[in-house]
Amino acid sequence: MSKAIRVLLYELADPTGSMPPIDSLLGSLSTKSLRDREAVCGGTTVRLEEISRVTHPNFPAPHWRMTFCRARDSNWPGQGTPGVASSDLPLGHGSVLLEQSSALYFPHCQRLVMQYNHSGVRVTKVADFLTQQAVAAAGSTLGAATYNAVPVLDPSVITRYRKHSDVTRIDVLIDDLTKADLALFQGSSISGTLRESAEEGTERVELVFSVDARIPGNKVSRSLMRRLVPAMLRRNNGGDKLMISARAGPTGKLVDLNLLDAAKQKTISQTNIVVTQGRRYDTTSMCENLEGICLGWAW
């Protein structure tokens, strides 16, 4: 069975207007060496492995192709054959395993299209990496400004959520939690729990909020929903979960909604990607497939 590779669409921009244009920053990064394209983001070393500015006949303006890598420092995979015990991978002295994720950035509309790789660099780390690079170039003049990556949402899912206002259960999974996520949940009822979890190094948090759905009119507090749902949608880490059970009124029929489906996403079949001799996805092939997806995306 062919593996489906998830692709997500984000708006990547500077909400304050005080950061350098991302197009200019990427132009500067494209001239730097690999060693100068590294940063530690939330305890993870992130490297901009490849970057190039391309012109495509089906797009109105040039865009950027990028591949980000993160080092896998421990619990490496082994190698094996049927009936034979696994063994270590033969890596050279000083070498580490690198997980790669490819992305496209379209400056004319501030859209980032990103391959989801559970073990690779995710969109929050991309925004953090670019912020660090901009601050390093400009010094302290930027203050606390940052780049933000916000998922582009499908309005039909949001409409369904708004129609089913009586929520009886919320299932939340926050994957790959870091201290950088705490600002998203500031002011919510779970902010203290997440802060303590992040400070103790917890990487995965699961929470359930529920009331007895058999009692008409029973529902979860709307104040919890007002802060939690937007925070989860903005974060939209590919491993997250936000499921709710809700009804349109006190006696309505319960329906289950996956709110993270509100983020625009598509899939690529693994059979469409050229694979290297070492079984990595060829980055040029991956970027070409990302461009193919973009052609069918109404922005």
What does the pLDDT read at residue 103? 97
User: What are 89's two structure tokens?
Assistant: 């991978």
Cα torsion 43, 135, 195, 181 to 10°: value is -90
pLDDT at residue 248 greater than cutoff 80: yes
User: What are 269's two structure tokens?
Assistant: 């079949």
Mean pLDDT of 78-83: 82
Q: Which of these, 196, 195, 244, lies nearest to 222 by C-alpha position? A: 244
pLDDT at residue 98 greater than cutoff 90: no
Mean pLDDT of 135-148: 78
Residues 6+ apart with CB under 8 A from 1: none
Maximum average pLDDT range among 23-27, 174-178, 229-233: 23-27
CA–CA separation, 36 and 92 (whole Å): 22
Residues 6+ apart with CB under 8 A from 40: 46
Strand 84-87 with 79-81, pairing: antiparallel
DSSP conformation class of 102 = E
In which band, very low, low, confident or very high, does the pLDDT at 163 lie, cut at 50, 70 and 90? Answer: confident
Model confidence pLDDT, tens digit, residues 179-223 = 777 877 887 878 888 989 988 888 889 999 999 988 888 888 877
What's the chain's average pLDDT?
A: 85
Task: Please give the C-alpha separations between residue 176 and each of 8, 87, 139, 275, in angstroms, as whole numbers.
Answer: 17, 28, 29, 27
Say which range, 57-66, 100-109, 228-237, 261-270, has the weakest mean pLDDT: 228-237
In which band, very low, low, confident or very high, does the pLDDT at 2 lie, cut at 50, 70 and 90? Answer: low
Model confidence pLDDT, tens digit, residues 10-25 = 889 887 888 999 999 9
Residue 47 CB neighbours (<10 A): 19
Of all residues in the chain, the percent with pLDDT exceeding 90 is: 31
Residue 86 CB neighbours (<10 A): 10
Residue 205 CB neighbours (<10 A): 16
Give me the phi and psi of 123, to 5 degrees please.
Answer: -65, -35
DSSP conformation class of 152 = P
Contact 91, 278 (CB under 8 A): no
User: What are 228's two structure tokens?
Assistant: 């939690």
In which band, very low, low, confident or very high, does the pLDDT at 140 lie, cut at 50, 70 and 90? Answer: low
What does the pLDDT read at residue 262? 66
Helix (H) or strand (E) holding 193: helix 191-199
Higher-pLDDT residue of 34 and 149 is 34
Place of tokens 């002295």: 93
pLDDT at residue 298 greater than cutoff 70: no
In which band, very low, low, confident or very high, does the pLDDT at 299 lie, cut at 50, 70 and 90? Answer: low
Sheet holding 166-175, edge to edge: 204-210, 166-175, 241-247, 255-258
- Most distant CA atoms of the chain, gap in Å: 66
| Model-wide pTM > 0.75 | no
